[in-house]
Amino acid sequence: MKFTLSWLKDHLETEASLDEIVEKLTMIGLEVEEVTNRAGRLKPFTIAKVVDAEQHPNADRLKVLKVDNGSGELLQIVCGAPNARKGLVGVLGRPGDYVPGLDFTLAVGKIRDVESFGMMCSERELELSEEHDGIIDLPEDAPVGVSYAQWAGLDDPIIEIGLTPNRPDCTGVYGIARDLAAAGIGKLKERPLKQVRGTFPCPTNVNLEFGDTPALCKAFGLRLVKGVKNGPSPKWMQDRLVAIGLRPINTLVDITNYMTFDQGRPLHVFDADKVHGDLVVRRGKDGETIDGLNGKSYTVDDSVCVIADDNAVESLGGILGGEISGCTEETTNVLIESALWDENGIAATGRKLGVNTDARYRFERGVDPDYMLPGLEAATQMVLDLCGGEPSDVVQAGEVPETNRIIDFPYAEVKRLSGIDTVVPEMNLTLKSLGFWISGTGDVVKVAPPSWRPDIEGKADLVEEIVRILGLDRVPSTPLPRSDTVTTRVLTTGQIRRSKARRSLASRGMNEAVTWSFISHDQAVTFDGGADALVLANPISSDMSDMRPSLLPGLLTAGQRNADRGFPDAALFEVGQIFTGDQPDDQKMVAAGIRRGTASHAGSGRHWSGTSDAVDVFDAKADAEAALSAIGAPVEKLQVYRDAPDYFHPGRSGTLKLGPKNTLAVFGEIHPRILKDLDLDGPVVAFEVYLDALPQPKNKATRSKGKLQASDLMPVRRDFAFVVDDGVEAEKLLKAARGADKTLISDVTLFDIYKGKGVDENQKSLAIDVLLQPVKKTLTDEDIEAVSKKIVASVEKATGGTLRG
Amino acid sequence: MSQLDTLKSELLAAISSAETEAALEDIRVSALGKKGCISEQMKTLGKMSPEERKTMGPALNALKTDIADAIAARKTVLEEAALEARLQSETVDVTLPLRASPADTGRIHPVSQVVDELTAIFADMGFAVAEGPDIETDELNFTALNFPEGHPAREMHDTFFFNEKEDGERLLLRTHTSPVQIRTMRTQEPPIRVIIPGRTYRCDSDQTHTPVFHQVEGLVIDKGSHFGHLKWVLEEFCKSFFEVDDIKMRFRPSFFPFTEPSMEVDIQCDRSGDEVKIGEGSDWLEILGCGMVHPNVIRNCGLDPDEYQGFAWGMGIDRIAMLKYGMPDLRDFFDADIRWVQHYGFRPLDLPTLFGGLSN
């Protein structure tokens, strides 16, 4: 919402400075976004008359002007404008003046050997409009030598406020003045509510025809003014409209725009001679079209409210007038409309047709119903004043809805909700100055909000009115009472797991990424997602159409972006949500990561101490186990399965499970086909840890870690090597060895895998180091021999292998 | 006696010229070994007269001691030299650069770090951390929060929708973390003090808007908390978060459907340089919206607004991270550019605490 200072002062008697007004506006909730004063920077530009214009001796398109700027001396100026001519009165810039539209400061110049002592300016050069077809062409009687900005009414600061949607009353300058007056900035000038007497019945009738459907128009007032003389509106009106960014059209149209911004009361004017028969306000019929005054064409249906005559749809009610019946300079008989529209109907139509107008903006927020007829009267008076003519009676269809409502208001509510200290007279004064009615005495009174405040529903709204006008800075800052106890744990298990997974992965040299929650449909399908329920109806782009079923697509493409920038060895992870369905429980928390190139745990790239190899499945497995360990999973009890999702390399991937069904993590090399499909360079390894899959920890009765069991007896190590078939998994062998004697064997380590000479083609040798920890007595050779036999027997039985001789 | 002197001088000369421990050992054997020259001489003592023995005995013993000492001394010298030589040969170039340790190269994203900072601050004020799903119902995202159907305030939210289901329900991506207010109030008995960090979504994209962003919401519901308390909470938060001793704040009336009265909050800053400085200067910067929870919202959660009251606020996590740590562009938060994460990220072991300072 924009207005000028002088416009505000039409309604507000005040001695306050611009700064005071601006500060107060912001502090009562009408946030000032910008204040501009065009006069400031245009101050040096003066009105000047071209006394003589001759052809430039060396250039066809240039003229050499002699310009009178009132100094008594004629200035020579070279000018290229097509409309530069003898007798033109325009705007002159002198050497030293800054031209905002060109962003330079004028100097004495020489153009094709002819000296030039300034410039005649276009509107664009002065940033007044986009007009640049020629230099400014003022009326002949414009006073030469006077400051242009001052003469043109530009010396009037433009204030722009960011209006919140609850304040339709401040979509007009009058409403803003009322708020300021209530806040102690001056006195509101009462607006005249004068009825204009009609001299004949309005020949055009209006009918609201909604049948048994909800009425999209509540009330409609109409009147004819005949014999008007339309033309350009007066300069003061044009100046104000231009200042707030509107284009003056003609007096009748300008009056409706002026009323829209002055009173927050949008109106419409029809050229009565182009309206056929009576007006009907009704729902549109499928396929009906209208050419709007904005030059665009719209097709309506039965959700749209239209005004039609015998011929056609003449207006999108409350939003946009039609081209056919619009007023032009030739209009002599005008129908003035002042109506009340259904807020939701206006909003829905505006959205559906994609049309934003100043009228829609106001009607969808709620225009003062009680001002429907006074607004029509005020507009009529303005038409009579500026265009003459003879007014008819007013015809009205529908009834202006009753807005009266009474709120029981306990004064104590102000202190209860805001903490402010105030007294009843101050509260009453504030409410009354905003137009509220108060009746009753005592602790609880009855308050009626004014018709222009549809946002006021209950006592909390009254508290807001009082507090915002008295000033939020009057509320003392009050410490929130602190708990009587020391702060206990505030995070949930899930939150703690995320934090631990995050910091453990970062401590493994990985960088945390945050990627979009949505990915392309193809990627979603590839990563076992793509369900209809998770496809956005209005995605921002096709790359962001589906809620992610996995964090990996986002990380993989992020990794590739880094590679494309010259950083192929990326280790990235993300801890975030994935979506397996559209219900709250379908949203799962996952820690996932990727390693590309040589970005292994030890470091990446070449180094004197040893060059890193390409990342492999064990890097991903180690990351997954580290994250699981960090969140408290019993890593030693997890089992490794070969059933990783299809997006992993089938031979180089696995899952980590707690029991046969509960998958806590997946890891592996990304499938080469996926790399190709997603256009990624390999190798890439990845893992996903399902943070929610780990059962909740049981409540512990004690924090004690139990007694340390450390034997005083020396442990003994023994090595064994077994030859087994290639297909035998190491875990099987290790498990068999560990299980051979659970009291003596405290650890088994696989320390060598050998294939080659001395081992058959389809076999491998696995060497293990077994740690024997005696508990009761030192081991004798016989004891060791006995346990060794058990180990060999157990492993051979489990794996079908043999002890390597 | 001169014979012994000669022997002594010969042996001492040999000892001092021995270059290796082996050569020295040879000398020791030849002099003091079982058949060594001094040992042989000692054997002759028995055959000597008591007088002869009286002089030769001490003389030989003295010689034996001198030679043993000389050998020991020489041995020490040789050992020292050998150690010195070994140390020389073992010298390495200690300027060789190391590989960086993983814990030094990994980084935590600023959003995660800032959430941890928020948690530390608000946990101290007695707040817990609540969460809710990203995919929400229209009811929880709008209606229960007092956004009337068709109200322009809904349009300001640029909502991402899912397709309408057969039963007419249309889910959406939450446009703010406020639905979690409703979820919390409907499941938890007051008094309530929670902060609600999380992802939020709006279909908007430019330098200061991304379709995904992070918000943190705060909610206090009890029987006495008013706007003065809200002011205190936010003032204390801003000082603590921006790690400044004092900060001027400005509360301006504003509008949100789910609070009444509603306020926007500006903080004092200095925009004169390249970076915005918080807590100095004379400019204002809007950082959050807040207000007293609207009676309709309290009622929608099954509580009586005449009995219960409270306040809520919401702000952009990415935005306050940018203000504190100086990232210029919001879009970079979601790009996973390693250079950016390395520069703006945090070390994995730097967990923010109030007792150790939020950032160091």
pLDDT in tens, chain B (360 residues): 578 888 888 889 999 998 998 999 999 999 888 888 888 888 888 888 888 888 888 888 888 899 999 999 999 999 999 999 999 999 999 999 999 999 999 999 999 999 999 999 999 999 999 999 999 999 999 999 998 876 666 766 789 999 999 888 899 999 999 999 999 999 999 999 999 999 999 988 777 789 999 999 999 999 999 999 999 999 999 999 999 999 999 999 999 999 999 999 999 988 888 778 888 888 899 999 999 999 999 999 999 999 999 999 999 999 999 999 999 899 999 999 999 999 999 999 999 999 998 987
Q: Which of A165, A511, A555 has the CB atom closest to B342's CB atom? A: A511
Closest CA to B335 of B323, B344, B347: B344
Top residue of B94, B99, B194, B200 to mutate, by most chain A CBs within 10 Å, is B99
Tokens representing A649 are 């390399």
Residue A788 has a CB neighbour count (10 Å cut-off) of: 17
3-state SS class at A243: helix
Top residue of B116, B156, B296, B337 to mutate, by most chain A CBs within 10 Å, is B337
**Mean pLDDT, residues A508-519:** 97
pLDDT category at A167 given cuts 50, 70, 90 is very high
Which DSSP helix (H) or strand (E) runs through A567? none
Closest CA to A545 of B173, B174, B166, B156: B173
Structure-token match 């709007």, residue found: A292
pLDDT, residue B59, reads 86
Q: Which of residues 511-570 of A touch B (CB under 8 A)?
A: 511-518, 532-540, 544, 547, 554-555, 558-559, 561-562, 565, 567, 570
Lowest mean pLDDT among A127-136, A304-313, A626-635, B9-18: A127-136
Q: Which of A475, A490, A506 has the CB atom closest to B128's CB atom? A: A490
Q: What is the CATH number of domain A206-398?
A: 3.50.40.10
Question: What tens digit of pLDDT does each residue of A743-766 get?
Answer: 999 999 999 999 999 899 999 999
Taking CB atoms and an 8 Å limit, are B338 and A562 in contact across chains?
yes
Task: Give me the sign of the Cα torsion angle B116, B120, B125, B128.
Answer: positive
Q: Which of A166, A344, A477 has the CB atom closest to B255's CB atom? A: A166
Question: What tens digit of pLDDT does each residue of A220-233 get?
Answer: 999 999 999 999 99
Residue-wise DSSP of A579-614? ESSSSGGGEEEEEEEEEETT-BTTB-S--TT-PPPP
Which CATH architecture does the domain made up of A2-37+156-188 adopt? Answer: 2-Layer Sandwich (3.30)
Task: Give me the CATH topology for the region A407-474.
Answer: Phenylalanyl-tRNA Synthetase; Chain B, domain 1 (3.30.56)
Tokens representing A700 are 């512990």
Question: What tens digit of pLDDT does each residue of A535-590 get?
Answer: 999 999 999 999 999 999 999 999 999 999 999 999 999 999 999 999 999 999 99
Using CA atoms, how far apart are residues A562 and B172, in angstroms rounded to an integer?
A: 32
Using CA atoms, how far apart are residues A567 and A447, in angstroms rounded to an integer?
A: 68
Chain A residue nearest residue B159, CA to CA: A538
Residue A485 has a CB neighbour count (10 Å cut-off) of: 7
Q: How far is A534 from chain B (nearest CA, A)?
A: 7
| pTM (2 d.p.) | 0.86
Residue B157 has a CB neighbour count (10 Å cut-off) of: 19
3-state SS class at A643: coil
How deeply is A257 buried, as exposed, middle or buried, from its count of CB atoms within 10 A (0-12, 13-18, 19+)? buried
Structure-token match 């009587």, residue found: A484
Q: Which of B127, B133, B205 has the CB atom closest to A584's CB atom? A: B133
Q: What angle, rounded to 10 degrees, do the helices at B110-124 and B317-325 form?
A: 100
Q: State the ipTM, two decimals.
A: 0.89
Q: Which of A483, A570, A571 has the CB atom closest to B126's CB atom? A: A483
Using CA atoms, how far apart are residues A769 and A747, in angstroms rounded to an integer?
A: 8
Residue A214 DSSP label: P
Top residue of B222, B252, B265, B268 to mutate, by most chain A CBs within 10 Å, is B252
In what order do the strands lie in the sheet containing A320-321? A206-209, A279-283, A305-308, A313-316, A320-321
Domain A40-151 has CATH 1.20.950.20: no
Taking CB atoms and an 8 Å limit, are B232 and A582 in contact across chains?
no
3-state SS class at A687: strand
Between CA A660 and CA A667, with CA A661 as vertex, the angle to 5 degrees is: 85
Say if B168 is an interface residue toward chain A (CB within 8 Å).
no
Top residue of A319, A444, A467, A478 to mutate, by most chain B CBs within 10 Å, is A478
Closest CA to B263 of A29, A171, A443, A547: A29
Using CA atoms, how far apart are residues B77 and B66, in angstroms rounded to an integer?
A: 16
Using CA atoms, how far apart are residues A97 and A45, in angstroms rounded to an integer?
A: 8
3-state SS class at A146: coil
How deeply is A767 buried, as exposed, middle or buried, from its count of CB atoms within 10 A (0-12, 13-18, 19+)? middle
**Mean pLDDT, residues A704-708:** 90
Residue A248 DSSP label: P
Q: Which of B152, B305, B336 has the CB atom closest to A365's CB atom? A: B152
Chain B residue nearest residue A420, CA to CA: B228
Show residues of chain B in contact with A576, CB under 8 Å.
199
Using CA atoms, how far apart are residues B190 and B223, in angstroms rounded to an integer?
A: 8
Closest CA to B259 of B318, B158, B176, B331: B176
Say if B339 is an interface residue toward chain A (CB within 8 Å).
yes
Amino acid occupying residue B258: F
Using CA atoms, how far apart are residues A217 and B267, in angstroms rounded to an integer?
A: 45
3-state SS class at A34: strand
Chain B residue nearest residue A482, CA to CA: B125
Which DSSP helix (H) or strand (E) runs through A212? none
Using CA atoms, how far apart are residues B245 and B279, in angstroms rounded to an integer?
A: 8
Say if A608 is an interface residue toward chain B (CB within 8 Å).
yes
Q: Which of A343, A464, A567 has the CB atom closest to B253's CB atom? A: A464
How deeply is A803 buried, as exposed, middle or buried, from its count of CB atoms within 10 A (0-12, 13-18, 19+)? middle
Tokens representing B141 are 């995202």
Using CA atoms, how far apart are residues A510 and B344, in angstroms rounded to an integer?
A: 14
Which CATH architecture does the domain made up of A716-803 adopt? Answer: 2-Layer Sandwich (3.30)
Return all residues near A512 (Cβ < 8 A) that are at least 6 apart. Answer: A502, A505, A506, A572, A573, A574, A575, B107, B108, B109, B112, B341, B345
Taking CB atoms and an 8 Å limit, are B226 and A499 in contact across chains?
no
Q: How far is CA A273 from CA A58, A229, A292, A338, B25, in A?
A: 56, 14, 18, 19, 136
A299 contacts A327 by C-beta, under 8 angstroms? no
Domain A493-693 has CATH 3.30.930.10: yes
Give the count of Cβ contacts less than 8 A between chain A and B: 262
Using CA atoms, how far apart are residues A538 and B284, in angstroms rounded to an integer?
A: 36
Question: What tens digit of pLDDT does each residue of A614-630 get?
Answer: 999 999 999 999 999 99
Show residues of chain A in contact with B355, CB under 8 Å.
none
Between CA B248 and CA B257, with CA B252 as vertex, the angle to 5 degrees is: 135
Taking CB atoms and an 8 Å limit, are A472 and B263 in contact across chains?
yes
Per CATH, A2-37+156-188 and A407-474 having the same topology is answered yes
Q: How far is B190 from chain A (nearest CA, A)?
A: 14
Give the residue extent of every domain in chain A.
Answer: 2-37+156-188, 40-151, 206-398, 407-474, 493-693, 716-803
Residue A145 has a CB neighbour count (10 Å cut-off) of: 14
Question: What tens digit of pLDDT does each residue of A375-384 get?
Answer: 999 999 999 9
